[in-house]
Structure 1
Amino acid sequence: MHHRPQPWTWNPPLALRFGFLVFAGVSVVTGLFAGTVKLGYLLDSPAASLAEDHGPLMAFGFVGGAIGIERAVAVRTRWAWLGPLAHALGVVTTLSGLPRLVPGVFFALSFLVLGATYLEVHRRQASFAVLTQAAGVIGGVAAALVWALGAPFAYAMPFAVVFAVATIIGERLELARISFGGVAAETTVTALTLALTASSLLFGFSAQLGFAVMGVLLVLVAVATVRVDVARHLVRSRGLPQFSAVCMLLGYLWLIVGGVIWVAFGFTETGFAFDAGVHAVFLGFVISMILAHAPIILTSVIRYTLPYHPVMYVAVALLHAGLALRLLADARSHTTLWQAGGLINVTAVIVFLLVSVSLTVRHARRRAARKTEKVPA
């Protein structure tokens, strides 16, 4: 008996997946160059005009874009791709220099579509993981709109943190099957993430109070999740599982550090304390988690395997060493060390991108060569 496919399923062509992924790639590259300008380098380059867009390009263009594409692939519906389309338009209009209201609205729309995909997944199979990720959409939409309406990105940043943290924690619940810790553990992690989302709304009314409460909850979310995450056991394994576990455990550590900084120094728009707090979360936690899950996400999106290789640890070492130096410089208000740490961070991400592309292409070529050898003459 042949079963007819469900009417909502759709498997998009590889060209479409790859095409949208390019916009996330462009965002991270231009965002890194913009960050380099903010560090005091490349001041006479074309990237200088993008300096103020560093935050939006990394948070909305890169992180938001990559997550949106991965979810569109997973949900397998045509309308879900309106999210990556809106994201692509947001990237293009940002780089084109249009008033931020235009890209901000496009990014907000991409987050709204992402939220709709979570609702669709929850309708098919309800879970704490989906609920946790859906909560992050509130932060994504709020961040995009705050930035679109003209506020400095510093005021959008806490909402962007909610999006990134809730999404990643939700994916840990989903991918790593944290349920081995029991329903109580999943309930606790989900409740803390929802509380983090609620506290971001408090930030909108009282920046200092909301920021401090968010800092406490960032610590609690990290501690509650790492206690039941399989990464604690996989770190003693080998190969890719160990690599991913190392990245994840370091990520949780930096999330705790970031939360402590938020509580200790409060909210500021600029300065060394702001730099330490935002990058402990976005570089230390978010980028670490992206490195940990990159082989899984890339394979699911473009159907090409990113195989594990020990050389991946080079980027990990650079990322965390650079971030440690950066935070030390922030603590001592030492500009030269701060610039050096930031430049090492930029180098780390570029190295990982180059390594990922190289390993993926090499694996694809070897696989094609093996297939050719098996074809009879």
Structure 2
Amino acid sequence: MTKHRSPVWPRGLLLMFVGAALLTGLLAGLTLLGVWADTPAASLGADHGALMVFGFVGGAIGLERTVAAKTRWSWVGPVASALGVVTLLAGAPRIVPAAAFTVAFLVLGAVYLTIHRRQATHAVLVQSAGVIGAVFATVWWGGGADFADIVPAAVVFAVATIIGERMELARVSFAGTAAETTITALILALVAASLLFALHPQIGFAAMGVLLLAIAVVTVRIDVARRLVHAGKLPKYTAVCMLAGYGWLAVAGLLWLGFGHTRAGHLHDAAVHSVFLGFVVSMIFAHAPFILGGVIRKTIPYHPALYVPVVLLHGGLALRVVADLRAAGPAWVAGGVINVVAVLLFAVTGFILVTTDRRRRRAARERRSARV
């Protein structure tokens, strides 16, 4: 296995495709909310889920794992993901971007296998289980299924990957505990429930609801975030985001269990976005300051302004879910728009903080040089 220190610029280039998937995915989400529905952007609406889950979440995770793996062959994954985004936006037949995304996830699975060979852990096993959901989702979607039909498989990918990364990052509190084995078993059961969904949607969906709730409860009880929330600055910020994320995962479990599977409408919207916005995006907010440093060697320094998009994200989602449950159209649209603003504001805030920190560090070096 050949290891090397890769230059930063290819990572930045591939990160641009992840960003493109995010921006176009958010635009597609706005069209589904009825905003700009009469513009050419409305054609993106059908691809909202694929852009956000495969292009953005999958692309970001694949790039981060590739950088960590330090192997030349693993770069095939992020390149394939970028190709998937490009062909999807270009209007190619769905089988083309689906095949590209499938290759990207298969390479991600190979990366996990490589990591497992170095050191076998429950965390890697859990993340590998997520790849099963991802590949199942892309193949099913490429075969012509609506994204609403593959949501359970996509949820397996997102939840298993994030929980596995939490297990990996918090080894002190997770490793060797009974909860570690329990969480691993729950994730594997979640994979099985998603396969059951393909045969019996209502039974599989309810089973996944129970498991999502159990995963949230078991994981939050042992996650170090419960202690870090009493710390200061960045540790407290990340803990707040993580605890809020676990809360939404529990809400999702209750919604999935209580209302059953629907392919469209308000209940479907509440069930899906409780996972992907409440849990997934909140966890991305929590880990972005660290993950970005590993990918492009630039970290997001802590600033209280980071809390603004967090408040907007969870406040907007709470409004959206309540509006979903009451079938209140205007409030639902407002909540969705606030969610989009929250994600965009986080990206802008992070960019400004990275840029100003770089300038501050450069100025400090110049002052030190001047004194010498």
Q: TM-score, normalised by structure 1?
A: 0.96
Structure 2: which amino acid aligns with 1:39? Answer: L
Aligned counterparts of 1:322 and 1:178: Cα–Cα separation in 2: 34
Q: Which amino acid aligns with 2:83?
A: L
Aligned position for 1:190: 184
CA distance in 1, matches of 2:39, 2:67: 37
Aligned pair partner of 1:247 in 230, 241, 259 = 241
> How many correspondences in the alignment?
371
Q: Is residue 135 from structure 1 mapped to residue 129 from structure 2 by the alignment?
A: yes
Residue 75 of structure 2 is matched in structure 1 by: 81
Give, in angstroms, the shift of residue 178 of structure 1.
5.2
Amino acid at match of 2:28: A
Gaps of 5+ in 1: 1-6
Is contact 1:28-1:58 (8 Å) kept?
yes
What is residue 154 of structure 2 aligned with on the other side? Answer: 160
Deviation string 1:94-121 (CA, Å, 9 cap, x unpaired) is: 0001111110111011000000000000
**Structure 2 residue ranges without an equivalent (≥5):** none
Q: Tell me if 1:232 matches 2:226.
A: yes
Indicate if the aligned counterparts of 2:300 and 2:353 stay in contact, CA closer than 8 A: yes
Task: Tell me if structure 2 keeps the 8 A contact 1:248–1:289.
Answer: yes
**Could you give the per-residue CA deviations for residues 71-110 of structure 1, whole angstroms, max 9, x where no partner exists?**
0000100011100010000000000011111101110110
Alpha-carbon shift at residue 375 of structure 1 (Å): 3.1
8 Å contact kept, 2:173–2:223? no
Output the CA distance in 2 between the equivalents of 1:187 and 1:22.
37
Letter in 1 for 2:215: V
**Does 2:128 match 1:148?**
no
Distance, in Å, in 2 between the alignment partners of 1:180 and 1:152 is: 37
Q: CA deviation at 1:181?
A: 7.0
How far 1:206 moved relative to its partner? 1.1
Please list, as runs of the form range in 1=range in 2, the aligned pairs for 1:1-377 lying within 5 A after superposition: 7-177=1-171, 179=173, 182-375=176-369
The answer as to whether partners of 2:266 and 2:327 remain within 8 angstroms in 1 is yes
RMSD (Å), alpha carbons: 1.1
SS where residue 304 of structure 2 aligns?
coil
Kindly provide the amino acid, as one letter, of the partner of residue 200 in structure 2: S
CA drift of 1:44 comes to 2.9
Q: Distance in 2 between matches of 1:169 and 1:100?
A: 30
- Describe the SS at the equivalent of 2:3: coil
Deviation (angstroms), 1:246? 0.4
Q: Which runs of 4+ in 1 moved over 6 A?
A: none
Question: What is residue 4 of structure 1 aligned with on the other side?
Answer: none
Q: Is the 8 A contact 2:167 2:175 kept in 1?
A: no
Q: Which amino acid aligns with 2:40?
A: P
Offset at residue 332 of structure 1 (A): 0.6
- Cα 1:193–1:180 change in 2 (3 A) is closer
Report the alpha carbon displacement of residue 9 of structure 1 after superposing the two structures with TM.
1.2
80-89 or 202-211, which moves further after superposition? Answer: 202-211
Q: 2:93 is paired with a residue of what secondary structure?
A: coil
What amino acid sits opposite 1:199 in the alignment? A
Distance 1:20 1:12 in 2: 13
Q: CA–CA distance in 2 between the matches of 1:319 and 1:60?
A: 21
% identical aligned pairs: 58
User: CA offset at residue 48 of structure 1?
Assistant: 1.3
Quick one: distance in 2 between partners of 1:250 and 1:179?
Answer: 19
| Structure 1 residues 180 and 146, CA gap change in structure 2 (3 angstroms) | closer
- Report the Cα distance in structure 1 between the residues aligned to 2:355 and 2:137, rounded to whole angstroms: 36
The offset of 1:176, in angstroms, is 1.8
Cα pair 1:254 1:280 within 8 Å, conserved: yes
Q: Is the CA contact (8 Å cut-off) linking 2:205 and 2:257 kept in structure 1?
A: yes
For the residues of structure 2 that align with 1:224 and 1:262, how far apart are their CA atoms? Answer: 18
Distance 2:70 2:175 in 1: 30
